[in-house]
Amino acid sequence: MFEAQPSMQTVYLSLLMHIDEVLEEGVGILKDKPPTLLVLNKKDMIKPGEIAKKLEWYEKFTDVDEVIPVSAKYGHGVEDIKDWILSKLPVGPPYYPKDIVSEHPERFFISEIVREKIFMQYRKEVPYACQVNVVSYKARPAAKDFIQVEIVVEQNSQKIILIGKEGKALKLLATAARLDIEDFLQKKVYLEVEVKVKENWRQDEGLLKNYGYGGQIRAL
């Protein structure tokens, strides 16, 4: 007994419905439709002739302004996305002085630096289960600034991976993060990094809100 396989037309229709749902959820309530870009990733895994066919199909059957094929793995097409976004940004007045590069506090950039080092060092699935919190930041005029950071994971096995044998992996992470933090702050710091387990924190709406994530959890 053989199971019938879906045709390519059925697959494309399914994709079309999903794309339309995403667009409706994201921009449906807006009075004026903003420019929309569809990014087709993993172009390195698609034959050149097939890419043209896919682009033609998406441009014909989806309500987007442009489709750009990219390979995030190799960085192909990333500059095209940047150029497209810049071309669509409206010109407006400056809201901050020229010497202010962001409205975010230093704690935000410290956590982002640590998060970046996690992605660069561990890759695969572990980084996506990590939440980085700056627990304490004490400026000390007569000594190095003290920064305490906690990395929250969902499982003890992830904690073990982050720490590594004899703590070597975590030490490597902390050193790389400290050097970038010092470069960003333009001062020496003492960085303390601790790994904690909070099971299934990504499914806990209370923790998500505490960590600064809005919205509600829903199954897709």
What digits encode the pLDDT tens for the residues 114-131?
A: 999 999 999 777 888 899
- How much is the pLDDT for 49? 82
Residue 34 confidence (pLDDT): 81
> What does DSSP say about strands 37-40 and 131-138: parallel, antiparallel, or unpaired?
unpaired
Above pLDDT 90, what percent of the chain?
Answer: 45
Q: What is the pLDDT of residues 193-207, one digit of tens each?
A: 999 999 989 888 888
Is residue 192 over pLDDT 80? yes
3-state secondary structure of 8: helix
Q: How many residues does the chain have?
A: 220
For β-strands 131-138 and 145-153, DSSP reports them as: antiparallel
pLDDT per position as a tens digit, 10-34: 444 455 555 666 666 655 566 677 8
Higher per-residue pLDDT: 207 or 102: 207
Nearest alpha-carbon partner for 153 in 134, 170, 130, 174: 130
CB atoms < 10 A from the CB of 183, how many? 10
Q: What is the pLDDT of residue 170?
A: 96
The reported pLDDT for the residue numbered 188 is 95
State if pTM tops 0.85.
Answer: no
pLDDT at 36: 84
